[in-house]
Amino acid sequence: MTVTFYYSSVSSSMEIKKNQQKIEMILSSKKIDFKKLDIAMDEDAKKQMREIVGNPKALPPQLCNGDHYCGDYNAFEAAVEEETLAEFLKLK
């Protein structure tokens, strides 16, 4: 399955922008294939993200693998620090 990275190209929050950039940089540097879905440009993607997350007010960035929710930025960062990113992204 492919990792899906839900993000927003339009955000007033610098924290969200930085978190999104860090996720993209880490996934790319580790050569992990992922698909980016911009919830600011695609209402269906936003609905899908919130449905998978299980929270009608969830904000990006969010990660999933197929229909399996992986986590948000904080969970991603913890997985990177603990060197369990492959497990977090459900690649193993």
How confident is the model over 13-45, as pLDDT tens digits? Answer: 999 999 999 999 999 999 999 999 999 999 999
Question: How much is the pTM?
Answer: 0.94
**Is omega for the bond preceding 56 within 30 degrees of 0, making it cis?**
no
Residue 1 has pLDDT above 80, yes or no: no
DSSP H helical ranges for 1-92: 14-29, 43-53, 73-81, 85-88
Average pLDDT across the chain, whole number:
96
Residue type, 26: I
